[in-house]
């Protein structure tokens, strides 16, 4: 079982009856402020998911489908997006 919490670790956002998120269908999921640090999300369907302000540092999103997903404000430092589908996704804007 996998439980995804918010960035503060206080609020449960999603409970999955699986031992992995690889290949999972999370399309349309509300993962706003989710703590997904170092998660393996390979081949995961995240179409139209709300990932606003999610912490995706060092997450592996290889071959994930993020079409139409909202990643505004998300921290994607060190995340791997190899062959990920990002068509229509709202991406975070880097502030330097």
The reported pTM is 0.92
Question: What is 34-90's CATH number, 3.40.50.1360, 2.160.20.80, 3.30.1490.20, 3.30.360.10?
Answer: 2.160.20.80
φ, ψ (nearest 5 deg) of residue 84: -70, 145
Could you give the C-alpha distances from 53 to 9, 67, 71, 81, in angstroms and in order? 14, 17, 7, 17
Predicted local confidence at residue 93, as pLDDT: 80
Sign of torsion over alpha carbons 95, 77, 18, 69: positive
The per-residue pLDDT for range 9-49, each reduced to its tens digit, is 999 999 999 999 999 999 999 999 999 999 999 999 999 99
For the segment 58-87, the average pLDDT, to the nearest whole number, is 97
DSSP state of 58: T
Sign of torsion over alpha carbons 52, 9, 58, 75: positive
Q: Domain extents for the chain?
A: 34-90
CB-count burial class (<10 Å; 0-12, 13-18, 19+) for 21: buried
For the segment 43-61, the average pLDDT, to the nearest whole number, is 98
Q: Cα angle vertex 46, ends 44, 50, to 5°?
A: 145
For the segment 62-68, the average pLDDT, to the nearest whole number, is 98
Predicted local confidence at residue 96, as pLDDT: 59
For the segment 66-88, the average pLDDT, to the nearest whole number, is 97
* Residue 94: pLDDT over 80: no
């Amino acid at each position: 079982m996998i439980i995804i919490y918010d960035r503060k670790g206080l609020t449960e956002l999603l409970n999955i009856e699986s031992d992995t998120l690889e290949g999972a269908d999370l399309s349309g999921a509300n993962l706003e402020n989710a703590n997904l640090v170092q998660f393996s999300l390979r081949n995961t369907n995240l179409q139209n998911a709300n990932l606003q302000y999610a912490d995706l540092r060092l997450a592996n999103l290889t071959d994930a489908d993020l079409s139409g997903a909202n990643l505004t404000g998300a921290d994607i430092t060190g995340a791997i997006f190899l062959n990920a589908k990002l068509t229509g996704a709202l991406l975070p804007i880097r502030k330097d």
